[in-house]
Amino acid sequence: MSFEPNYNLDYDRRELRDKILRVTVKVLLWAIVLGGVIFGAWAITEYCIEKTNMTGNSMEPALSDGEKVLVNRLSYRSDDPDRFDVIVFNISGKEHDYYGIRRVIGLPGEKVQIIDGYVYINDEFLEEINDVEPMQVYGLAEYPIYLDDDEFFVLGDNRNDCIDSRYTGMGNVSRESIIGKAWIRLDGLAIISGLNKKD
């Protein structure tokens, strides 16, 4: 009795093996793409852009309570905030506590004081970029405040209804607690740094 090979069986096995290989490659490619998308989304939210909400009315009229804000986390990776930047910072210095949003007024190494309701930097009157009311409460800034090399003095635009660097509950903002620059107001799609500038 002689045994003759079944060539059809070998062909079927090869076709099945090729089909399994094609499916495996497709699944691996989809897994790589999906992993890349997930990693990219994580990297963007961790290092580039973050969304937060404005809490309270301290930045009115520029920002109102509950408005959604995109934070540019890359803006201060290599540079420090400039005067009048609207920054987002961690109020308590702990990672998961809520963020504060205020305008930078005093820069590291400067002397800040409020005199007759207005800000003076190094004994010179500060010309504001926004129309703000004279301050009625000076808080800590009734006397000169000397900023360390890593400290910023911040104020809200709503100067008479705001907790900011004038108060011990917030104080000066350290460089390491700054998350990034308040970049885009999502509700009105406006660039925040351009809001309420004098014409």
Q: What is the pLDDT of residues 31-90, one digit of tens each?
A: 888 888 777 766 666 667 888 999 999 999 889 999 999 899 988 988 999 999 999 999
Residue 121 lies inside a defined structural domain of this protein:
yes
Give the residue among 163, 165, 185, 169 at the shortest CA–CA distance from 71.
185
Q: What is the pLDDT of residues 129-148, one digit of tens each?
A: 888 999 999 999 999 999 99
Residues 105 and 187 in one domain: yes
Residues 134 and 87 in one domain: yes
Residues 103 and 183 in one domain: yes
Residues 21 and 110 in one domain: no
Position of tokens 């961790």?
46
Cα maximum dimension of the chain: 116
Q: CATH number, domain at 143?
A: 2.10.109.10
What was the pLDDT predicted at 2?
A: 55
Residues 90 and 149 in one domain: yes
Residues 137 and 175 in one domain: yes
Q: What pTM value is reported for the model? A: 0.75
Residue 199 lies inside a defined structural domain of this protein:
no
What was the pLDDT predicted at 89?
A: 94
Position of tokens 């005199």?
115
Residue 141 lies inside a defined structural domain of this protein:
yes
